[in-house]
Structure 1
Amino acid sequence: MFQTYEEALHWIHSRLRLGIKPGLMRMEWMMEKLNHPERRIKCIHIGGTNGKGSTVTYLRSILEHAGFQTGTFTSPYIEQFNERISLNGAPIADEEVVELANRIYPLSVELEATELGGPSEFEIITAMAIYYFAEVHPVDIVIFEVGLGGRFDSTNVIHPLLSIITNIGLDHTQFLGNSYEEIAFEKAGIIKKEKSIISAVKQPEAREVIVKRARELEAPIYLLNEDFSIKDHKSVESGEVFSWQCKNLELKDAAITMFGKHQTENAALAIMAANLLEQEHGIQIQEKDIREGLKAAFWPGRFEMVKQNPVLILDGAHNEEGITALTNELTKRYHDKKIKIIFSALADKKLDKMIEKLDKTANEITFVSFDYPRASTTEALYSLSSSKKKYMQDDWKDAITNEYMLLDENEILVVTGSLYFISQVRHFLRESTL
């Protein structure tokens, strides 16, 4: 058994060697051994390609402002592992991680000896989160973010009050399929019988798959731009302002401090969820709770302006949809500035189209690698770029430091790519004298 936080963390991360193991049988086995904690929590399930973390944050902040103790399970973490299991936005304590690891470890050993094989890292962390919110620190409501896909994701053992699918993109195609329809089918796996589903999916073919699955399960479905909508959106210096409308309710001039049109869509999903929680489950949420919750919501590493003079932005744009949102926002907000970009990504992503979009936006682009097993090499990234001003740098810390120190008032620096990379960058910036 584990005596220290470091020992517990080492064991959890050692399970990464097993890779991704889709399927629910191992989770169901562990839930039965734990006396089904997943049945004793009120929860919401959020899946999708992009925007999951932001939608979790908006909804959590709304529920907190309404006076509810709210747990969250998210991935990956940005600054410390404990963030993945948080209570009212605060990561659980190191001692609690040790307690949870000691509870799950014997089950992992027992499971390893069965034909199912041992649990993956993500399955262990999911089991820890479910057990924590059911047994160690019960809360009013928990929001679970899907790890990968939905149908066979380890979080899909929960019984949510409602589910949300943010959007669909061509990511993790080696696991989820190569078309929007195939990926939508996997995401739609979180829809539960007679439980409401909310979605911002845009592609008609993907939307059709989700609607069909909802009808099969007699689940009420609420679609952005059909059942609820965003009106009068405008970007302001502090973020975005928009009005939200559904059949029986209108919220005028809601403000968020996260940047980008895509963030208004994530916020709109959270407003719809709050509305349904009150209508269908009697969870009392007032208009002021929604307004204050939206305004207070913050999710690190999403178009995060970490320095203003000159501007330094971090953005975890880790797939084509994320890069599109980033480049759109940069073009809109900084069309009069010279944009310098530092980029690193995982090798298993579809990198060519991502880099093509960055090339069109950046006046200069520098490619780096970072310490992570799946990180792409600098040379591989560089070779995909057609920019006339492209560079390679061996040390990403030097690249950021040197680029930032040389910025003038007409230039901005954007560090983007994998969320694992952005996590390391945030830690570096917190410790540096930049």
Structure 2
Amino acid sequence: MKFLTAHDVIKHLYSLPHLHPKNDLSFIKRILSSLGDPQNKVKTIHVTGTNGKGSTSYYLSNLLQKAGQKTGLFVSPYVREFNERIQLNGQDIPNSDLVKVANIVESKIELLQKDDPNFALVTFEYETALAFEYFYLNRCDYAVIEVGIGGQHDKTNVICPEVSVITTIGLDHEKIIGPTIEDIAHEKSGIIKSKKPVVLGNVPQTVLPILLKKANETKSSVYLLGRDYTVETTKNIQYCFKNHQIVFAKRPLVESYDIAIAVTAFYLLHLPLEEKMIEKAIDQTNIPGRYQIISKAPKIVLDGAHNIQAMNNLLSFLHQVKNKDGRLYCLVTMMKDKDLKQVFDLFEDQDKVTLTTVPYPRATKLNDFPAEVREKYAYDANYCHAYQNLKNKLSKNDILLVTGSFYLVSAILQVEDPINASARD
């Protein structure tokens, strides 16, 4: 099979299964080996965490670029289009390069299938192989690699990074890497590699010993938030690590520890960059789908918060900044495997919530929401109609929040700006 267009590639990727019967790394290792192990030919930083891993990855990518490094970035999910998943120096992979790399990977798959007809990749393995091959072909100095889910068994866990990063640990994806927070901590500790430093962020004390034990076993130096580096937020964000002290501008709903984690990981690479340039790199970083304001009066906010911790932070902030004369309208869908009841408990009684869905297999339909949620809130299966209906109700002091899933955020961006949301060079 030969791909002719990026549409062909993406269509094929999403026709593949999502999971192997056996949850190991044997398939991704075989395809990477047939490609010449491109993941070993580029320096990497590996990032995991229940929340903040995407933001931290974007900050790290920008810091590396400011330091003059040719920088790859592999993140998920995408907000506007698939090409966001694989970036080079802050630019999405062009369609022509996506086709080129996919044909290279596909040719190797066909060769492997001659010896083993049962050999096949799942979607995320294929995407991971695309990213590593693209970064190698473009001779990246560094690539920032965000895990898909977890750590130990994640398909990206085939690298020996210069630095490992664990941003936070909380309850999410319990059915896959849980069910307990201790199980999740064990899984995420799997990215800690022998004699390579690890930066730990906002980690609960209850599971910190699990991570420290793994670091001790691998002889990895640990840099722990609050012990080895600090961050304080008042009118601005004050960061301190060793003899480095930097002040960053405070940004709405930006977790200060995401910034601190990224800067600490960057310092461990020992790349020359003035503190003013570090400050500039952070301040200029835009993170798609995270507190993304698409209208100011009335305010319309898109945020892909999809677990308890992220949603609590988001709603707490919006309830604080909301005008006393205004209302908070919310359009929400989530994935079926999330803690739906606990998330909806975070909304206040006066919040005007509308439930919806998106055309994605894991997305909640009406009967997937808990009974008490269905009884309390209106449901509109047509997200376009639901969104326009809420927009029409807004006064200038109101806020409309679209949240619960990056898939919904992406869908609403298509509604608001269908040309720019899908256009490519």
Q: How does 1:349-388 map to 2 (within 5 A)?
A: 349-358=338-347, 360=348, 363-381=351-369, 383-385=371-373
CA contact (8 A) 2:18 2:124 kept: no
Q: Cα distance, 1:387 vs. partner?
A: 8.0
Q: Cα distance, 1:320 vs. partner?
A: 1.2
Describe the shift of the 1:286–1:16 C-alpha distance in structure 2 as closer, same or farther (beyond 3 A).
farther
- Among candidates 384, 401, 410, match of residue 414 of structure 1: 401
> For residues 264 and 323 of structure 1, what CA distance do their matches in structure 2 show?
16
Describe the shift of the 1:19–1:29 C-alpha distance in structure 2 as closer, same or farther (beyond 3 A).
closer
Q: What letter is aligned with 2:244? A: L
Q: Cα distance, 1:18 vs. partner?
A: 4.6
Q: Cα distance, 1:108 vs. partner?
A: 2.8
> For residues 384 and 16 of structure 1, what CA distance do their matches in structure 2 show?
34
> For residues 306 and 65 of structure 1, what CA distance do their matches in structure 2 show?
27
> For residues 262 and 404 of structure 2, what CA distance do their matches in structure 1 show?
26
> For residues 331 and 391 of structure 1, what CA distance do their matches in structure 2 show?
21
Q: What letter is aligned with 1:352? A: K
CA contact (8 A) 1:78 1:301 kept: yes
CA contact (8 A) 1:63 1:285 kept: no
Corresponding position of 2:35: 34
Q: What letter is aligned with 2:407? A: Y
Corresponding position of 1:305: 293
Describe the shift of the 1:27–1:419 C-alpha distance in structure 2 as closer, same or farther (beyond 3 A).
same
Q: What letter is aligned with 2:409? A: I
Describe the shift of the 1:269–1:21 C-alpha distance in structure 2 as closer, same or farther (beyond 3 A).
farther
Q: What SS does structure 2 have at the residue aligned with 1:357?
A: coil
Higher helix proportion: 1
After the TM superposition, which of the residue ranges 313-322 and 224-233 deviates more from structure 2? 224-233
Q: Deviations over 1:234-266 (max 9, x none)?
A: 3xxxxxx21001233211x31254x22x52111
> For residues 311 and 150 of structure 1, what CA distance do their matches in structure 2 show?
37
Q: Cα distance, 1:21 vs. partner?
A: 6.3
Q: How does 1:18-97 map to 2 (within 5 A)?
A: 18=19, 22-97=23-98
CA contact (8 A) 2:75 2:146 kept: yes
**How many residues end up aligned between the 2 structures?**
416
Corresponding position of 2:166: 165
Q: Cα distance, 1:380 vs. partner?
A: 3.3
Q: Deviations over 1:374-417 (max 9, x none)?
A: 111134337342885x2112311111112112211231111111
Structure 2: state its 5+ residue gaps: 420-425
Corresponding position of 2:422: none
Q: What SS does structure 1 have at the residue aligned with 2:346?
A: helix
Structure 1: state its 5+ residue gaps: 235-240
> For residues 387 and 165 of structure 1, what CA distance do their matches in structure 2 show?
39
Identical amino acids, percent of aligned pairs: 32
Q: Cα distance, 1:423 vs. partner?
A: 1.2
Corresponding position of 2:423: none
> For residues 106 and 22 of structure 2, what CA distance do their matches in structure 1 show?
18
Q: How does 1:122-201 map to 2 (within 5 A)?
A: 122-134=124-136, 136-201=137-202
Asked if 1:242 corresponds to 2:244, the answer is no
> For residues 330 and 20 of structure 1, what CA distance do their matches in structure 2 show?
42
> For residues 380 and 284 of structure 1, what CA distance do their matches in structure 2 show?
52
Asked if 1:121 corresponds to 2:109, the answer is no
Q: How does 1:271-350 map to 2 (within 5 A)?
A: 271-278=263-270, 283-334=271-322, 336=324, 337-350=326-339
Q: What SS does structure 2 have at the residue aligned with 1:59?
A: helix
Q: Cα distance, 1:114 vs. partner?
A: 3.2
Q: What SS does structure 2 have at the residue aligned with 1:198?
A: strand
Q: What letter is aligned with 1:430? A: D
CA contact (8 A) 1:339 1:361 kept: no
> For residues 142 and 99 of structure 1, what CA distance do their matches in structure 2 show?
20
Q: Cα distance, 1:95 vs. partner?
A: 1.0
Q: Deviations over 1:210-249 (max 9, x none)?
A: 1110111110001111111112433xxxxxx210012332
CA contact (8 A) 2:293 2:299 kept: yes
CA contact (8 A) 1:62 1:290 kept: yes
Q: Cα distance, 1:309 vs. partner?
A: 0.8
Q: What SS does structure 1 have at the residue aligned with 2:403?
A: strand
CA contact (8 A) 1:25 1:116 kept: no
Corresponding position of 1:399: 386
RMSD of the TM alignment (CA)? 2.0
CA contact (8 A) 1:365 1:387 kept: no
> For residues 417 and 328 of structure 2, what CA distance do their matches in structure 1 show?
23
Q: What letter is aligned with 1:150? A: G
Q: Cα distance, 1:362 vs. partner?
A: 5.1
> For residues 67 and 304 of structure 1, what CA distance do their matches in structure 2 show?
28
Q: What SS does structure 2 have at the residue aligned with 1:26?
A: helix
TM-score, normalised to structure 2's length?
A: 0.93
Q: What letter is aligned with 1:60? A: S
After the TM superposition, which of the residue ranges 191-200 and 174-183 deviates more from structure 2? 174-183
Q: What SS does structure 1 have at the residue aligned with 2:255?
A: helix
Q: What SS does structure 1 have at the residue aligned with 2:373?
A: coil
